[in-house]
Amino acid sequence: MLKTFAVLVVLLSSVTSFFLSEKDICEVEKARWNQCFKGFINKTTELNEIAKEVIESSSTVAPSHYQNHKNNFNSLVQCVGNIHCKGERKMIKFNFDTTGFYVEMNEGTAEQCVKEADQTVQLHNCINPKDFKFSTGNDFNNKVLSCTEEVLENTECSAEDKKNVMRGALAVKDMYDIFSDTLKNKTHVNEFDLKFDRTKYL
Ligand SMILES: *[C@@H]1O[C@H](CO)[C@@H](O)[C@H](O)[C@H]1NC(C)=O
Ligand SMILES: *[C@@H]1O[C@H](CO)[C@@H](O)[C@H](O)[C@H]1NC(C)=O
C-alpha cells in the first residue's frame, strides 16, 4: 500500500512538472522561499535582520552570522530545499550550502582545538572580519587560505582537523571568488545557475 502510494506520488509529481511551465515552477519556488523566511521572523533578532537583508537586497549573507544560530540555519536550509530556478535565490542557496559545509568542517574536535588555543576569533576573521561586506575583492579572497593556515599553526589541532578546516576555507574562498565576479553585474546575478558541490572539497 505504502509502496503504491510512493509510486503514485512520483508519477503525480512528474505529471505536474510536465504540465507546469518553467515560469510556474519558479513562481512556486519563490512562494516557498518567502514562506520559509517568514517563518524565521522573530525567532532571533539577528537572523531576522539577515533574512530581511537577504530578501530586500541582492547582497548575500556571510557565514559567521549563521554559526551562532545553527539550528535555525539548518531548518531554514531544509525548508528552502533544492533551488531549481536560476537567479538570486539560487545564489543565496549556494551561499547557504557553502556556509553549511564550512561550519561542518569546523565542528567537533576542530572547534575544540581552535578554542583551546584561543584562536576562534582569529580563525573566524580570516573569512569574516568585523567590517566584512560582499562583494569582497581579490586582495581579501586571496588571503583566506594563507590566513587560515597561519592561524592553524598557532593551534595543537591534529593534521586531520587542520585538513578539514582548510577544506571549509577553500570552499568559502571559491564562493567569494565566484560572488565577487557575479555581483559586478546584475544580469549575472539573475543568471546565476551554480549549485554547491561538496565532493569538490572532500
Ligand atoms: C514579531 O514580533 C512583533 C513585535 O514583537 C509582532 O508585532 C509581530 O506580530 C511578530 N511577527 C510574527 C510573524 O510573529
Ligand atoms: C553585464 O553582462 C551582460 C551579459 O554578459 C552584458 O551584456 C552587459 O554588457 C554587462 N553589463 C555591464 C555593465 O558590464
Q: What's the 25 CA to ligand 1 centre distance in angstroms?
A: 30
| pTM more than 0.85 | no
Residue nearest to atom 10 of ligand 2 (CA): 185
Q: With a 6 A CB cut-off, is 181 part of the ligand 2 pocket? A: no
Residue 161: which of 100, 111, 101, 99 has the closest Cα? 111
For position 36, what pLDDT does the model report? 84
Centre of ligand 2 to C-alpha 192, Å, is: 13
Look at residue 151 in the predicted model and tell me its pLDDT.
98
User: Cell 587560515 sits at which residue?
Assistant: 148
Q: How far is CA 179 from CA 62, 85, 92, 109, 193, in A?
A: 12, 18, 10, 30, 12
**Residues in the chain with pLDDT < 50?**
1-2, 9-12, 47-48, 51, 55-63
Please answer whether residues 67 and 49 qualify as being in contact, where contact means their C-beta atoms are separated by less than 8 angstroms.
Answer: no
pLDDT in tens, 110-138: 999 999 999 999 998 998 887 777 667 88
| Through-space distance between the first and last CA atoms of the chain, rounded to whole angstroms | 40
pLDDT in tens, 20-45: 788 889 999 988 888 887 766 555 55
Ligand 2 close to Cβ of residue 186 (< 6 A): no
Does any ligand 2 atom lie closer than 6 A to the CB of residue 185? yes
